[in-house]
Amino acid sequence: MNPVPKPKRIVDKQGMKKVKGIDHCERCGSIYCLEVAHVHGKGCGGSDIKENCLKLCGPAAMSAGCHGAHHRGEITNDELFGIIARREGKPVEVIKEIAHRAWRFGEYDVT
């Protein structure tokens, strides 16, 4: 019996380098204990692309900071996509569509 194949996650190394280089929490501005957060989590197939990731304070593992608040459901995906849209200078709908296509269909254009 063959297991169901796991879809390959998309990784944009240049985009992730940009996100990792951010030196503050993109939500509250804190400069302490920063982590890359995924709007669509890696566990459910979320991609490592700049339209799906942002820098938040944490640590999420201790349910602390903005990253912990996101994991507890206190910060909506819409709010996070809004932060990413401002950072990227694109409309929220465009960011959501890019992240959704990468997450669901494995399509991503790095241009």
pLDDT in tens, 30-87: 999 999 999 999 888 889 999 999 999 999 889 999 999 999 999 999 999 999 999 9
Q: How many angstroms separate the CA atoms of 30 and 65, rounded?
A: 9
Per the CB < 8 A criterion, the answer to whether 88 and 51 are in contact is yes
pTM of the model: 0.89
DSSP label of 79 = H
Supply 64's token pair. 């602390």
Taking the mean position of all CA atoms in its chain, how far away is CA 92? 14
pLDDT (0 to 100) of residue 43: 84
pLDDT (0 to 100) of residue 6: 64
Q: How many angstroms separate the CA atoms of 3 and 22, rounded?
A: 39
